[in-house]
């Protein structure tokens, strides 16, 4: 019989061992597989953008717009003014939307989203500066002021005498008196990563990024600022990481999030426009059974520069992509207008539930209002038509607000004493 203290030992079966090995192998292959998939999707996205733009200009332009019946006159037919205006508007809009999609897509791919590689040397520099300043202060000792010092300052007097003592100076310089208690405490602060105040100087003196107060990433072993997360595909901590997008083969982070927002928005508009304007042609050719070579009931004439099956393929892809991109762009705009990333949505939801359970209210410190959040995201500092035009239709690089470590907060926008550029969005 089995007693109460009997322990069960379950031996690992060959099947479980092989399954673990397969899972470890797949985890190791995740990054190269995602990179390979990203390259394939990158080429596919480029072909789609070029193909949709070419069809809009070379196929839809002569196929749809000339179907407006021109009036007949004794001297022949002529193109009405309305048709000429429609053709010009269609050509201008097509070139503009394809240019905006292409530019923001390229910027999403080539722009570094921002990583924490620069914070490693920054942490070493700050600790060295703090150490030098702390040693200098310990050598100099506190400033003596006989008039302001009272009789109750005997302990401080003894400390000043200790600092100015030759034995203490030798201990600071690594001499025989290295067993001094205050120096041991100071060394422990350095080893354990004490903050600037403990080490004897203000945090604004040399630590402009605040690396001494940051968390440390367990994977890349570098300081991790607020809103930064580690990407397993890129194997780096990405500043203000939103997600890793295989369609651009890059992470969406602080420095390319604006381009990603504009790319998805314009791509949704472009595919939706392509679907709507080509819907009569698609219906006439594919659904009603009419082909371009039929002599009866020929409503639309497709140019011979493109195969019929290729045209139908692009119409089908555009219809599916218009739905997908509209949902994606809508969700991304919602996150932007609420000052959240896709990762922070889950974190903030958990914090909101915890606050509600404890009778409190969760407040997102980065949420400065819907319109202000959009202006900060697009770097629209002038709240007029010129500012919005530059933020939405600009075809040259435009950096984000902030450096990826410091972000716009409610306190920096609405604080009258704030000297930062965040006051531009108030």
Burial 265-274 (b: 16+ CB within 10 A, else e): bbbbbbbbbb
Dihedral over alpha carbons 329, 226, 370, 112 (to 10 degrees)? -40
Give catalytic status of residue 245 as yes or no: yes
For residues 386 and 384, give the distance between their C-alpha atoms in angstroms, rounded to a whole number: 5
The strand ranges marked E within 176-253 are: 215-216, 223-224, 229-231, 236-238, 243-245, 250-252
Element (H, E) at 269: helix 257-282
Tokens matching residue 335: 């996150």
Burial 191-217 (b: 16+ CB within 10 A, else e): eeebebebbbbebeebbebbbbebeeb
Could you tell me the CA-to-CA distances from 23 to 17, 28, 29, 244 in Å, in that order?
10, 9, 10, 21
Catalytic member of 206, 245, 251, 315 = 245
For residues 255 and 272, give the distance between their C-alpha atoms in angstroms, rounded to a whole number: 28
The C-alpha angle with vertex 149 and arms to 145 and 155, in degrees rounded to 5, equals 110
Could you tell me the CA-to-CA distances from 168 to 12, 29, 157, 164, 397 in Å, in that order?
61, 57, 15, 7, 57
For residues 378 and 395, give the distance between their C-alpha atoms in angstroms, rounded to a whole number: 13
For residues 140 and 171, give the distance between their C-alpha atoms in angstroms, rounded to a whole number: 14
For residues 63 and 66, give the distance between their C-alpha atoms in angstroms, rounded to a whole number: 6
Residues marked active site are found at 245
């Amino acid at each position: 019989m089995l007693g109460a203290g009997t322990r069960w030992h379950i031996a690992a079966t060959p099947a479980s061992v092989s399954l673990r090995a397969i899972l470890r192998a797949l985890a190791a292959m995740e990054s190269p597989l995602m990179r390979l998939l990203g390259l394939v999707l990158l080429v596919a996205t480029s072909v789609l953008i070029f193909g949709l733009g070419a069809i809009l200009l070379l196929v839809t332009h002569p196929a749809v717009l000339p179907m407006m019946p021109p009036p007949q006159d004794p001297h022949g037919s002529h193109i009405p003014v309305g048709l000429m205006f429609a053709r010009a508007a269609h050509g201008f809009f097509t070139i503009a939307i394809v240019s905006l999609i292409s530019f923001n897509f390229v910027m999403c791919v080539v722009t570094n989203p921002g990583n924490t590689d620069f914070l490693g040397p920054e942490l070493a520099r700050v600790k060295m500066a703090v150490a030098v300043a702390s040693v200098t202060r310990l050598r100099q000792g506190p400033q003596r002021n006989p008039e302001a010092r009272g009789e109750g300052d005997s302990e401080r007097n003894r400390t000043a005498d200790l600092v100015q003592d030759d034995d203490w100076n030798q201990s600071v310089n690594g001499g025989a008196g290295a067993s001094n208690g205050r120096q041991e405490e100071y060394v422990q602060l350095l080893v354990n990563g004490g903050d600037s105040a403990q080490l004897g100087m203000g945090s604004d003196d040399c630590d402009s990024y605040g690396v001494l107060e940051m968390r440390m990433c367990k994977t890349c072993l570098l300081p991790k600022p607020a809103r930064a997360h580690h990407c397993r595909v890129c194997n780096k901590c990405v500043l203000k990481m939103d997600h890793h997008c295989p369609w651009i083969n890059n992470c969406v982070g602080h420095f390319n999030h604006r381009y990603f927002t504009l790319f998805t928005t314009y791509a949704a508009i472009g595919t939706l426009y392509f679907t709507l304007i080509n819907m009569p042609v698609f219906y006439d050719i594919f659904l009603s059974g009419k082909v371009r070579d039929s002599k009866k009931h020929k409503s639309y004439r497709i140019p011979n520069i493109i195969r019929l099956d290729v045209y139908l393929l692009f119409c089908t892809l555009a219809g599916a992509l218009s739905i997908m991109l509209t949902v994606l762009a809508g969700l991304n705009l919602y996150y932007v207008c609420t000052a959240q990333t896709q990762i922070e949505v889950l974190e903030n939801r958990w914090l909101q539930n915890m606050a509600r359970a404890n009778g409190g209210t969760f407040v997102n410190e980065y949420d400065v209002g819907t319109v202000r959040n959009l202006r900060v995201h697009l770097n629209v500092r002038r709240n007029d038509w010129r500012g919005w035009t530059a933020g939405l239709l600009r075809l040259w690089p435009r950096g984000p607000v902030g450096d990826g470590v410091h972000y716009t907060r409610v306190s920096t926008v609405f604080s009258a004493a704030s000297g930062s550029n965040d006051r531009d969005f108030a």
